[in-house]
Amino acid sequence: MRVANNKLLARRHWGTLVEASLALAAASAATRLLPFKRYIGLGARPLPAKKVMATPEIGRIVDALGRRLPFRAVCLQQGIALQWMLRRRGVEAILHYGVQLPKPSGEIRAHVWVSVGGQVLIGAPQHADYTEVAHYPAGSALPLR
């Protein structure tokens, strides 16, 4: 399977690909069926005691897969799925929620991105155009800028 940068997906990533598919499907369903406070809090569960290393590869897999699925998986669903996957591995992943002030058309735009240790794994570089209004889990990290 090919992903971003036209590199072949290594066999060692196939399990992550399956996990990302399931996480994206669950995030897509959650954003349709649950109230905002409920689904946004799902990714803020406590971290397991054992910490493992996060890799940007997981973010790239979620991003690439999110653009190819037959159901809606935009930045919100991709961000929730990635945060779930990383926190399940014991990584302090922060989901950031930002907005853009209305343009002359009057449309307010929103964007979600996920960071680990100040590095944006998904949702960049667009996140720089948005003002962060919240991050989850709340109180876990300073806003990026």
List per-residue pLDDT tens for the chain, 145 residues long: 444 444 546 667 777 878 888 888 888 888 888 887 777 777 666 666 665 655 788 888 899 888 888 887 888 999 999 998 898 888 889 999 999 977 777 788 889 999 998 899 999 888 888 999 999 987 664 444 4
CA gap 48, 55 in Å, rounded: 17
Supply the pLDDT for residue 133: 92
Is residue 118 in some structural domain? yes
Supply the pLDDT for residue 20: 83
Put simply, whether the predicted model's pTM sits higher than 0.75 gets the answer no
Is residue 26 in some structural domain? yes
Cβ contacts of 23 within 8 Å, gap of 6 or more: 62, 80, 81, 82, 84, 85
Is residue 145 in some structural domain? no
Cis status, amide bond into 125, omega within 30 of 0: yes
Is residue 144 in some structural domain? no
**Total residue count of the chain as it appears in this document:** 145
Is residue 143 in some structural domain? no
CA gap 65, 102 in Å, rounded: 30
**Residue 139 is encoded by which pair of tokens?**
């109180």
**Residue 92 is encoded by which pair of tokens?**
């302090």
Helix (H, G, I), strand (E, B) or coil at 64: helix
Per the structure, the complete domain to which residue 21 belongs is given by 4-136
Q: How many structural domains does the chain have? A: 1
Is residue 141 in some structural domain? no
